[in-house]
Amino acid sequence: MKKALVTGITGQDGAYLAELLLEKGYEVHGIKRRSSSFNTVRVDHLYQDPHEKDIRFKLHYGDLSDSMNLTRIIQEVQPDEIYNLGAMSHVKVSFETPEYTGNVDGLGTLRILEAVRLLGLTGKTKIYQASTSELYGLVQEVPQNEKTPFYPRSPYGVAKLYAYWITVNYREAYNMFACNGILFNHESPNRGETFVTRKITRAVARISLGMQDCLFLGNLDAKRDWGHAKDYVQAMWLMLQQDQPDDYVIATGVTTSVRELVLMAFFELGIELEFKGTGLEEAGVVVSCSNPKFQVEPGKEVVKIDPEYHRPTEVELLIGDATKCKEQLNWCPKYTLPELVKEMVEADLKLFEKEKYLRDGGHDTLDYNE
């Protein structure tokens, strides 16, 4: 039975990847951070009681800033494959925590590579590094492929640049099987609530149900190549099943602006929106609502700009060319963006309908401010 170790297993991708690896018959080990409250909600359905026999899913406490801890876990597990997905992954937050981001996202990768080397596992353990389209940053050419020059635009992007090159360096210097997956944005109903797609789909659901008045956003002009996380974890696994290690772009090849995404998400629930005004005065205004379930009045401003969400330096346009991955790994995304948006909006609507039902019935969820 193959053993995999996944850092960042409690995150969006970690949870989907763990599901995939368990389906494929792996023994899956994950690293979770100690937290003052439960932080394993995305993998709770995979939990197995450690007292039972033949456990194939096990979590270890750890942190990418702690090399002794990482080395011990790798020594204990002796993994055939390591997927390094752990990171401080929010680009805007990285401007506020640049040193921490460099430590975890940059040096954390080095700690994994060096542990594998020092433990004499270079011939056994294959490593996947979660690289990112944020490496491209300032637009040099589109679509972006494996040969496009990098120009990161955030502490997050710069930390990931170090991680990318240290992975290449260990591959070349020590003949390690280490791959970079240069993944473009990928989303799902399990996406963190502060990334723009999920922020939008949550707000669409809440505004429709009368639980929120307005959605505040930053740069509506930014364009992203959005895919589904379920498709992208398949590509991660495929990279480690090849004879030779290499780096691959994973993307859909379609780019969409944040503004267009907002329109798509509202339209999913029958709400037609138009954007009026310019700059900080731009607003998304309801034109009509064809769904009798929702009372959203025409003329209401439901999207406004808050400069707080603008970034000191922005990545304006991402569109990936995944030809290499398609040709060499036979990978192709199954989900289109409209399908992804539909799935996310429906999931959030269900979530907030349940919450509203409980609140309306007087069964408030625990509120620590009360």
Q: Which residues bind ligand GDR (CB under 6 A)?
A: 89, 91-92, 132-134, 184-185, 194-196, 199, 217-219, 222, 224, 258, 309, 311, 314-315
Whole-Å CA distances, 5 to 17, 80, 85, 126, 348 = 11, 8, 10, 10, 31
Is 134 a residue of the active site?
Answer: yes
302 binds, among ligand GDR, ligand NDP, none (CB under 5 to 8 A by kind): none
13 binds ligand NDP (CB under 6 A): yes
* Nearer to ligand GDR among residue 10 and residue 125 (C-beta): 10
Least distance to ligand NDP, CB of residue 93, Å? 10
Whose structure tokens read 């723009």? 196
Q: Residue 230 phi/psi, 5° resolution?
A: -60, -40
Residue 148 φ/ψ, nearest 5 degrees: -65, 130
Instruction: Write the DSSP symbol of residue 52.
Output: S
CB atoms within 10 A of CB 232: 27
Q: How far is residue 122's CA from residue 115's CA, in Å, rounded to a whole number?
A: 10
Stretch that binds ligand NDP, among 28-36, 283-291, 313-321, 345-353 (CB under 6 A): 28-36
> For the purposes of burial, counting CB atoms within 10 Å of the CB of 266, is it exposed (0-12), middle (13-18) or buried (19 or more)?
buried
In the set 132, 148, 197, 256, the catalytic residue is 132
Cα–Cα distance, 300 to 214 (Å, whole number):
9
CA 164 to chain centre: 17
Count the Cβ atoms, other than its own, within 10 Å of residue 262: 22
Tell me which of ligand NDP, ligand GDR, none is bound by residue 224, counting a contact when its beta carbon lies within the kind-specific cut-off of 5 to 8 angstroms.
ligand GDR
Q: Interface residues for ligand NDP in 52-81 (CB under 6 A)?
A: 63-65
Tell me: does residue 89 bind ligand NDP (CB under 6 A): yes
**Dist CA 62 CA 60 (whole Å):** 6
Site for ligand NDP in 145-184 (CB under 6 A): 183
**Partner from ligand GDR, ligand NDP, none contacting 311, C-beta within 5 to 8 A by type:** ligand GDR
The angle at the Cα of 248, spanning 113 to 128, to the nearest 5 degrees, equals 25
Q: Determine which one of 156, 164, 170, 335 is catalytic.
A: 156
Catalytic annotation present for 156: yes
Terminal C-alpha separation, the chain? 50
Single out the catalytic residue among 19, 27, 81, 134: 134
Q: Which is nearer to ligand GDR, 3 or 160 (CB)?
A: 160
3-class SS at 152?
coil
| Residue of minimal Cβ distance to ligand GDR | 222
Our CA dihedral for 161, 166, 172, 175, rounded to 10 degrees, sits at -130
Of the candidate spans 19-27, 87-95, 239-247, 353-361, the one that interacts with ligand NDP by CB under 6 A turns out to be 87-95
Residue 10 near ligand NDP by CB under 6 A: yes
Tokens describing residue 235: 């590509």
Asked if 7 is part of the footprint of ligand NDP (rule: CB under 6 A), the reply reads: yes
Shortest spacing between CB 86 and ligand GDR, in angstroms: 12
Q: Which is nearer to ligand NDP, 10 or 208 (CB)?
A: 10
Q: How far is the CB of 222 from ligand GDR (least distance, A)?
A: 3
Active site residue 365: no
Q: Which residues pair with 320 in a beta bridge?
A: 144
- Count of positions on this chain that bind ligand NDP (CB under 6 A): 26
Contact of residue 309 among ligand NDP, ligand GDR, none (CB under 5-8 Å per partner type): ligand GDR
**What are the CA-CA distances from residue 53 to residues 60, 260, 284 (Å)?**
18, 51, 56
Residues that bind ligand NDP (CB under 6 A): 7-8, 10-14, 31, 33, 35, 39, 63-65, 85-89, 104, 130, 132, 183, 185-186, 192
